[in-house]
Structure 1
Amino acid sequence: MRQRRWLDLLKDYDCDIQYHPGKANVVANALSRKALIKSQGEVNTTAAMCTIGKVFNYGNEQFVIDAPGESTNQGFIHRFASMFATLKIVPDIINEVKIAIKSDHYLRTVQEDIKKGKTIPEFALDDENVLKYKGRVCVPETESLDIRHRVMKEAHTTVYSIHPGSTKMYHDLKKLYWWRGMKADVAKFVSQCLNCQRVKAERQRPTGLLQPLPEPAWKWDCIIMDFVTWLPLTPRVVDAVWVIVDRLTKTARFIAIRTQYTLERLAKLYVDNIVRLHGVPESIVSDRDPPFTSKFWEGLQKTMGTTLKFSTAFHPQTDGQSSVPFRF
């Protein structure tokens, strides 16, 4: 409906719509860009104006933000200007990081190596003996004191964060903090936020239901294939099996291969063991392994007249029949 309304509005104008990349839009208005603080003492007037009349609590003190020029708390606004638009590392988190880093084996090892004089790429210790990665504070993983959860909660649920999405929240956090798997942790945290799930409406069109594959009309018209890799090396110097299953009769063929085989060699094995004995199939169902998504394999099957059908992302049941022979 949104696009329909825009079409109804623009149809009366003789104009051409051209796409303008966001990077090239250097003169964007204030509403379409997030305001950032350039220095610690610079006040973001846009963020301050948005909070006029609000009561702000900091520690044991309470402040009321008034209009510029009438506020009795001008020093307060200048002092805590960075809290209006950007995140800020508070001292107590730094102290907790220093204590908790002893429980993280990886970060503790890096910190000890740096103290011994070793050079660890991208890692360094600052003047306060805080471990940093590319200038960002390294947040350890602990069981008793979950600092990562506290950092994500501060970046998501405070009045100045306004419950951002996972992408925006990740870009805000990665300017100050770092830990392995941060992006996945942020996405999981946002997905578990009850307020976001209840309030934020889904703007995308509902996805359709999964549809079963049609039954093939004849044997070896439709096949499913997959690889079983990293097996023990045999006297024939092979360490993998290429499993090809007929969807109609469930007949399986096993081709011994090596994981280092080129696509040309795999194509020759496919022609010798499948096409020569059973003919060219109409369709092939497989996962999205690099050999199956390569231009060479796509061009070969297109020349033969075979349709490639890839499994749905995060739904391995699509080509599950190729995994059944693995049990034996």
Structure 2
Amino acid sequence: DDNLFYIRHKGSSNTKKCRVVCSAEEADSLFKEFHSSNIGAHFGQLKTRDAISQRYYWPGMSADIEKWVSQCTVCQKNKKDIKLKTDLKPIKVKTPFELVGMDLIGKLAKSDQENQYICVIIDYCTRWAQAYPLKSKSAAEVTQSILKFVYQFEVPKRILTDQGREFVNTINTEVCKMLGIKRSLCAPYHPQTNGLVERLNGTLQRALAKLVEDKPNTWDQYLDAVMFGLRTKKQLTTQFSPFYLMFGREAR
């Protein structure tokens, strides 16, 4: 272990063990793994740097990553101006699954599996998110996504959605009533109320666009990898990854 060492960030009492990267070739390989792979999903400078720095170190690492991300041809090709919305007061929660936000992405290019939508559910406490590919936005399919989430984790106390018919319908209402889930609805024409899931939607769509490039019908093949990447990246608001807040450790 002669190439392992401990680093402590200035002003912090936290110490972590990182492996020293000894060559430019290895550093370049790591950048491709953490940025350009399906899990890396061409996320930005901060997420890429945070992911690499959890495990590796080399002198000038931050500057190198900033340069490489700015020169990434896929990122530049798919770069879009991101308009920041008016800041809203954050919704305060104390425990996981106290509140989850739910929304749909689509209509997307029909995949080989005939999927055209993504049902996204995110926990407001841990920022853990799930994304389920759907063939349609019917009440039955969308409600099935809620059941999948429940079977994987637990029954959330409250679900926040917009007032679309895919969410406000007899099937959805009855299932939530049966499970004891309270419903909250965003005001019409004001989706920012569910701002956390709206931001996730944008991040997810940009990542998928960069990975599919000229094969838009393959987006659902990348969905699980992109979601794993999102769950293992540190969030600016919590300063932890959703994975850490769910399991008490970082992913291997």
Bucket of the pairwise TM-score, normalised by the shorter protein: 0.3 to 0.5
TM score, norm. by length of structure 1: 0.33
TM-score using structure 2 length: 0.43
**RCO higher in structure (CA 8 A, sep ≥6):** 2
